[in-house]
Structure 1
Amino acid sequence: MTALVIAEHDNASIKPATLNTVTAAVACGGDVHVLVAGLNAGAAAAAAAQIAGVSKVIHADGASLAHGLAENVAAQVLAIAGNYSHILFPATAGGKNVAPRVAAQLDVAQISDITKVIAADTFERPIYAGNAIATVQALDATRVITVRTTGFDAAAATGGSAAVETAAAAADAGQSTFVGSEIAKNDRPELTAAKIIVSGGRALGSKEKFDEVITPLADKLGAAIGASRAAVDAGYAANDLQVGQTGKIVAPQLYIAAGISGAIQHLAGMKDSKVIVAINKDPEAPIFSVADYGLEADLFTAVPELVKAL
């Protein structure tokens, strides 16, 4: 029984979500192999070989894999899928783009967003915005799985000594073409990898107030900035800052929620945080039910005072 992890990388290094996915793969039992598919991705393959628990790295290098187009990556996975009992992807935008294509081609049911491995064929996954946990048993010979990375500790990035094996790159499927990318540059930590997150909600009232109140606190703490869906929909914060069921799933060491009431959709995205601090003037706000520390106060007074104290 061997598991294959599809690595997320930038052709030079391995992204953190891959490390959590390796931990899930190890829990499935048997050997763990990692597929690094890209262009000039030798450095990423070498980094993958250092991950603790990995016994082999398969490095596929070619122009068709340069930008991680879902059709081409899926074809690469399918070319070697017959060797594996488990194929695991991080439940990121990239992983969720490729995994369903692989599952459909293999004619198996995808098991999405697992948070625990009970046995090689049995897994836990959240449903109903995390209000219930489903135990799912897979009857297919090949299990195609996406892993909620916040549910698993990251494997050690060093200490391994896996062999790197070269595989022929899959031909371009010709179904999509990379046109270009517009990447937002940000000096702050990436939201899903940040150890500290400061999030603001609709109570901030405007984009100006959001920036005025949330940014200084995030600066003091070296934190990433997040937002509730209500704040994003109102235009207070950018789309890629949204935390929640329809945004990003995060589990930082410290999550500070200012002016967020705590709808279940938001809680689904952050309730696995190690320490949750809620600042809200409504004593009945649902956010207090998951908070480790709650401050019933006006955020426009409390947050600046907190910044001064820091």
Structure 2
Amino acid sequence: MTALVVAEHDNQSIKGSTLNTVTAAVECGKEVHVLVAGSNAGDAATAAAQIAGVSKVLHADGEQLAHGLAENVAAQVMAVAKNYTHILFPATAAGKNVAPRVAALLDVGQVSDIIRVESEDTFDRPIYAGNAIATVQSIDPIKVITVRTTGFDAAAASGGSASVEQVDAAGDSGLSSFVGAEIAKSDRPELTAAKIIVSGGRAMGSSEKFDEVLTPLADKLGAALGASRAAVDAGYAPNDWQVGQTGKIVAPELYIACGISGAIQHLAGMKDSKVIVAINKDAEAPIFSVADYGLEADLFNAVPELVAAL
């Protein structure tokens, strides 16, 4: 019995979320295959073959797979699904777009956002914004799973020697088409892959203050910038910086929360960080309950002082 990991990639390289998903697949106690569905994605398939723990890479290549349209990727997964007992996706925007379609086509229940593998059919997943953990058992013959990547260590990106097998690309579903993409370019690390994150909340007051106060600290630390939902909703930061239950789930080595009160939805997205530093002038702010280090101070004084000290 074998597990299939549906790789997230950019047609040239494998994204880090795939490495965490491979670890979850290995813990299912199965042989692990990886599906790379893309266009001119030979480099990505070669990279997938080097991941430790992977025994085979299925490479499907076709123009209709170039942009990862969910309907076409789901059709590609369905073309090989009968050979697997477990089909795993990273619980990213892309993975969560494809996995429910595959589960529906297979007529099975999806097991979402797992953080631990108890056995080949039993998994732990957070509920109530991470305040409780549910243990879920699936009796479906094929288990469709999304993996919360912060719950698993990344598999080694090198050291493997999997074979690469070409498979026929599924035809275009005709249900959707790629129109265009507007991609924000930044010299900073991608939020979900960053080792250090500096985040700001509603207390920043404006986008100008957000940039003026937090950007120098992020520059000093080589950090990514994040924000609470309140800061994003107020227009202080772009949507792709949002950390939390309705944003991105992160677990960096260091998370610095500036002017973030610590609403339950935000904590759900960052409380697995290795070290959490909170700066807030409200001594009763919930963020202090999860912080390893807390500074009760006005962030507009404390952060510039910290930058100067660095």
In the TM superposition, what whole-angstrom CA distance separates every residue of 1:185-238 from its partner, at most 9, and x where no partner exists?
A: 111000000000000001111111111111000000000000000000111000
Amino acid at match of 1:65: L
**Partner Cα distance (1:205, 1:65) in 2:** 43
Hey, what does 2:252 align to over in structure 1?
Answer: 252
**Partner Cα distance (2:266, 2:36) in 1:** 33
In the TM superposition, what whole-angstrom CA distance separates every residue of 1:153-193 from its partner, at most 9, and x where no partner exists?
A: 00000000000000000000000010111101111000000
1:50 Cα shift?
A: 0.2
In the TM superposition, what whole-angstrom CA distance separates every residue of 1:75-118 from its partner, at most 9, and x where no partner exists?
A: 00000000000000000000000000000000000000000000
1:285 Cα shift?
A: 0.4
Amino acid at match of 1:236: Y
Equivalence map 1:278-289=2 (5 Å): 278-289=278-289
**Partner Cα distance (1:246, 1:216) in 2:** 27
1:66 maps onto 2:77 in alignment: no
Amino acid at match of 2:3: A
Amino acid at match of 2:241: L
In the TM superposition, what whole-angstrom CA distance separates every residue of 1:43-82 from its partner, at most 9, and x where no partner exists?
A: 0000000000000000000111111100000000000000
Equivalence map 1:110-189=2 (5 Å): 110-189=110-189
**Partner Cα distance (2:278, 2:184) in 1:** 29
**Partner Cα distance (2:70, 2:298) in 1:** 46
Hey, what does 2:269 align to over in structure 1?
Answer: 269
**Partner Cα distance (1:30, 1:248) in 2:** 29
How does the TM-score come out when normalised to structure 1? 1.00
**Partner Cα distance (1:216, 1:228) in 2:** 19
Equivalence map 1:197-208=2 (5 Å): 197-208=197-208
Helix, strand or coil at the partner of 1:164: strand
Show structure 1 runs of 4+ deviating over 3 A. Answer: none
1:85 maps onto 2:85 in alignment: yes
Amino acid at match of 2:253: Q
Amino acid at match of 1:212: E
1:12 maps onto 2:12 in alignment: yes
**Partner Cα distance (1:136, 1:42) in 2:** 37
Q: Cα RMSD between the aligned structures?
A: 0.4
Hey, what does 2:196 align to over in structure 1?
Answer: 196
**Partner Cα distance (1:67, 1:282) in 2:** 46
**Partner Cα distance (2:73, 2:249) in 1:** 24
Helix, strand or coil at the partner of 1:278: strand
Hey, what does 2:235 align to over in structure 1?
Answer: 235
Helix, strand or coil at the partner of 1:174: coil
Amino acid at match of 2:301: T
**Partner Cα distance (1:225, 1:82) in 2:** 42
**Partner Cα distance (2:275, 2:33) in 1:** 34
**Partner Cα distance (1:83, 1:307) in 2:** 55
Helix, strand or coil at the partner of 2:54: coil
Hey, what does 1:102 align to over in structure 2?
Answer: 102
**Partner Cα distance (1:177, 1:235) in 2:** 30
Gaps of 5+ in 1: none
**Partner Cα distance (1:288, 1:199) in 2:** 15
In the TM superposition, what whole-angstrom CA distance separates every residue of 1:94-145 from its partner, at most 9, and x where no partner exists?
A: 0000000000000000000000000000000000000100000001010000
Amino acid at match of 1:26: V
**Partner Cα distance (1:300, 1:12) in 2:** 42
**Partner Cα distance (2:62, 2:33) in 1:** 20
**Partner Cα distance (2:128, 2:226) in 1:** 22
**Partner Cα distance (1:163, 1:53) in 2:** 12
**Partner Cα distance (2:65, 2:236) in 1:** 37
Hey, what does 2:48 align to over in structure 1?
Answer: 48
Amino acid at match of 1:308: A
Helix, strand or coil at the partner of 2:268: helix
1:7 Cα shift?
A: 0.2
1:30 Cα shift?
A: 1.6
Hey, what does 2:298 align to over in structure 1?
Answer: 298
**Partner Cα distance (1:237, 1:110) in 2:** 33
**Partner Cα distance (1:72, 1:247) in 2:** 25
